[in-house]
Every structure is written in C-alpha cells, then in structure tokens.
Amino acid sequence: MSEPFDEKAHVAHMETVIGLTVKDDWRPVVEAHVAATAKAADLVLSFPLDDELEAAPVFFP
C-alpha cells in the first residue's frame, strides 16, 4: 500500500521544479484541484485490465 497523497507537499515541490509561484490566496484552490486530480487518477489506475487487451485503433460508439 502506498503512502497517502500529500497535495500540499506536491504543490510546494512543483513550484520549485517548474519555477511557478502560487500566490497564498490561490494556494488552497490549487491544492484542492491537485487532490481532486490525484483522486481521479487513482480511480483510473485502479481499474483492472487484462494483460492481453490492446487499444482500439478507432473508436466506434
């Protein structure tokens, strides 16, 4: 099991990595969006897929 995602630490780290400054007024909103994105990614990555599946070359609804 992995450690819980720390959106505050991630935002602070990414500020350094990409040279972005997040104003203090916006920090809670940015952290909330990063947390929501991480939760969505967790859902996608937890979906079970068979190893034999291949991506469809064209999508037909």
Residue 53: inside a domain? no
Residue 56: inside a domain? no
Structurally, the chain folds into a number of domains equal to: 1
Q: Give per-10-residue mean pLDDT for the chain (61 aa).
A: 86 96 96 97 92 85 84
Which one-letter amino acid corresponds to residue 59? F
Residue 29: inside a domain? yes
Residue 59: inside a domain? no
Report how far apart, in Å, the C-alpha atoms of 53 and of each of 1, 23, 47 are.
26, 44, 13
- pLDDT, residue 1, reads 46
Residue 18: inside a domain? yes
**pTM for the model:** 0.74
Which single residue is written with the structure tokens 């992995």? 2
Residue 39: inside a domain? yes
- pLDDT, residue 56, reads 78
- pLDDT, residue 7, reads 97
- pLDDT, residue 6, reads 96
Residues of the domain holding 31: 7-45
